[in-house]
Structure 1
Amino acid sequence: MEGTIKKLGQTEIYRGSRVHLVTETIQFPNGKRAEWELIQHPGAAAVIPVDADGKIIMVRQYRNATDGWTLEIPAGCLDHPGEDPLECACRELEEETGHQAKKMDFLYKFYSSIGICDEIIHIYVARDLVKTEQSLDEDEFVTVEHHSLDALLEMCFQGVIMDNKTISALLAYRYKYKL
């Protein structure tokens, strides 16, 4: 059912360094109102780095949400509202993997968790990589691994890789490039 939905107000609950939690008062077309919680996020960019052998460079890092180590494509938050997601993707590629790309192609973008968060993640494919050096933040502990697309997709279906941006990006990459 479509119609006019109005946001009547917003109350900030928490303001962190990366995310903000607000409640919003919403009025629906039938006149009823509701209070909805929303996590506000500046957005992010992620990249599928493809090496000269066609393998994908992945990063293994600790994630607090899982209380464990995860295997993911390199990614990071936009530094500020309005930052070009391509610049963010290039920065994160070099920081986390120690590579720059001569060619970066936009693949797609998506809401990370549309029911509760306004974060949009922009996905790129990096090719023609040049080795540089990792430049990790002081709170990042990242190891770099190279895997075939088939092996990574199998890890997704086995539940080894459970990160949504990585799973959807790998599937989109396979679909778009008919691999």
Structure 2
Amino acid sequence: MSDEKLVYDGWLKIYNKNINGKTYDILHNYDAVAAFVTDEFGDILMVKQFRPVVMKETLEIPAGCLDVEGETPEDCLIRELKEETNLNVNKNALNKIISYTPMLGFSKSILHLYHVNIKKSDLKNNKIDDEDVREVLWLDNNTFKKYVKDGKIFDGKTIISYLYVMNKKVFD
């Protein structure tokens, strides 16, 4: 037997859920999408943005929330790539990696990961007029690995996508 009580009602919603006398905090948030974008040289497209939760700029793959009613993950990703990187990507360029639940302990939101391969010349400008993204940049494979090892890249979706794409033959 369980019941939920809304305890915070903002962009995110938090409920207390009572199950057999124990209270759990349950986060209701949006599903999301992310794109691991590579070019013909194997370089990886990253976005630099300020994240208030860690109070610093991070390097991550482009991503966003499914917060438009009725929008599919693919349409959301195309919109987010345009907003965050100014890239125009066609739906058939999206290659699904995996959908998973990254915060299973307190949220059932799903993150949909995709791989997109483009030409480096498709990125016209690395200065973006986006409220979150401050810069778009390419990293070569060795720099990416070094940044992960040094803790400069610590975002889960970015690291999971990299491991999948670099080890694709293992998963096929």
Q: How many Å apart are 1:131 and its aligned residue? A: 4.0
Q: 2:71 aligns with which of 75, 78, 83?
A: 83
Map 1:14-163 to 2 at 5 A.
14-17=8-11, 19-27=12-20, 33-80=21-68, 82-102=70-90, 103-129=93-119, 130-131=122-123, 136-137=129-130, 139-163=131-155
Q: Which moved more, 1:66-75 or 1:34-43?
A: 34-43
Query: Cα–Cα, structure 1 residues 177 and 82, in superposed 2: closer, same or farther, change >3 Å?
Result: farther
- The answer (yes or no) to whether the contact 2:84–2:133 under 8 Å persists in 1 is no
Q: How many Å apart are 1:122 and its aligned residue? A: 0.5
Question: Which of the two has greater strand per residue?
Answer: 1
User: Which structure is larger by alpha-carbon Rg, 1 or 2?
Assistant: 1
- The answer (yes or no) to whether the contact 1:62–1:68 under 8 Å persists in 2 is yes
Q: Distance in 2 between matches of 1:77 and 1:48?
A: 16
Q: 2:157 aligns with which of 140, 153, 165?
A: 165
Q: Distance in 1 between matches of 2:115 and 2:107?
A: 25
Question: Which of the two has greater helix per residue?
Answer: 2
The CA RMSD measured in Å over matched residues stands at 2.1
Larger relative CO (CA 8 A, sep 6+): 1 or 2? 2
Q: Distance in 1 between matches of 2:139 and 2:89?
A: 18
Q: How many Å apart are 1:26 and its aligned residue? A: 1.7
Q: For 2:118, what is the secondary structure of its paired residue?
A: strand
- The answer (yes or no) to whether the contact 1:100–1:132 under 8 Å persists in 2 is no
Q: Which moved more, 1:82-91 or 1:68-77?
A: 82-91
Q: TM-score, normalised by structure 2?
A: 0.85
What percent of counterpart residues are identical? 28
User: What amino acid sits opposite 1:72 in the alignment?
Assistant: E
Q: Number of matched residues?
A: 165
User: What amino acid sits opposite 1:46 in the alignment?
Assistant: A
Q: TM-score, normalised by structure 1?
A: 0.82
Structure 2: state its 5+ residue gaps.
Answer: none
